[in-house]
Amino acid sequence: MSPLLSGTGLVRNYGATPALRGIDFAVGEGEIVAVTGPSGCGKSTLLHCLSGILRVDAGTVTYRDQDIGLWSEAARSRLRRTEFGVLFQFGQLVPELTAVENVALPLLLAGSGRREARRTALDWLDRLGVAELAEQRPGAISGGQQQRCATARALVTEPRVLFADEPTGALDVLTGEQVLGQIVRVAREQGTAVVLVTHEARVAAYADREVALRDGVVDPTGLGLGVAG
């Protein structure tokens, strides 16, 4: 059975700087995979390429047996409001909208009516334990609460794949643990696959398996042994 999402021979450069130098990656249904490595190894770039936010310069990204690299920017954007969920370290909640509006945003963009989207959003906020913050703006709540709202938003469309890039990077240990625990719990309940980018071993320990990167390639040893550069 072919994996849900896979990338083969992925290459991506930023101008003259290579970020990914030929990476093979695969994640199956309901699997949690951690992508680890030191800073600058290309983990975030890999995440952006797999989720269709960035186009690869070479290689193919296959989702459900379709090459999404061939899709238009609009089509790939639409993926993010249906089958993919994204959760970043910062900067994804719209500061001028309330928490519930933020969570409902992907649904609204996909064409849902306001009342229905709002109901679903409130339900998700409740599942993540922040229902009482529904009418607050992101600027008025703490970092941990913001990340929980962002998690709700990433999961509100019941995506097949959740892309999380250092979701607990800005949080203290206990708050981060709570957020991670909730992500893992919901992912297991819904059968959502998770691609979790982190540089911390304790966060990677929440995953079923680990893919270590170093300098744009996969590092099977995890310690940079036998990898040039």
- What is the binding site for other proteins (CB under 8 A)? 48, 53-54, 73-74, 77-82, 86, 88, 91-97, 101, 105-106, 108-114, 139, 153, 181, 184-185, 200-202, 204-207, 210, 221-226
Q: Are strands 84-87 and 32-36 parallel, antiparallel or unpaired?
A: unpaired
* Distance in Å, CB of 2 to other proteins, minimum: 25
Nearest to 52 by CA among 31, 67, 33: 67
DSSP letter assigned to residue 88: -
Write down the residue that tokens 């994804």 correspond to: 92
* Distance in Å, CB of 181 to other proteins, minimum: 6
| C-beta closer to other proteins: residue 169 or 224 | 224
Nearest to 130 by CA among 142, 118, 139: 142
* Distance in Å, CB of 124 to other proteins, minimum: 14
- Give the H/E segment covering residue 39: none
Q: Are 156 and 110 in contact (CB under 8 A)?
A: no
**H-helix segments, 51-89:** 73-79
| C-beta closer to other proteins: residue 158 or 210 | 210
Q: Any idea what the Cα angle at residue 49 is, between residues 47 and 52, rounded to 5°?
A: 105
Q: Are 27 and 33 in contact (CB under 8 A)?
A: yes
SS3 label, residue 78: helix
| C-beta closer to other proteins: residue 70 or 205 | 205
| C-beta closer to other proteins: residue 23 or 86 | 86
* Distance in Å, CB of 222 to other proteins, minimum: 5
| C-beta closer to other proteins: residue 8 or 190 | 190
| C-beta closer to other proteins: residue 64 or 185 | 185
Angle between helix 114-127 and helix 99-109 axes, rounded to 10 deg: 130
* Distance in Å, CB of 84 to other proteins, minimum: 9
* Distance in Å, CB of 4 to other proteins, minimum: 19
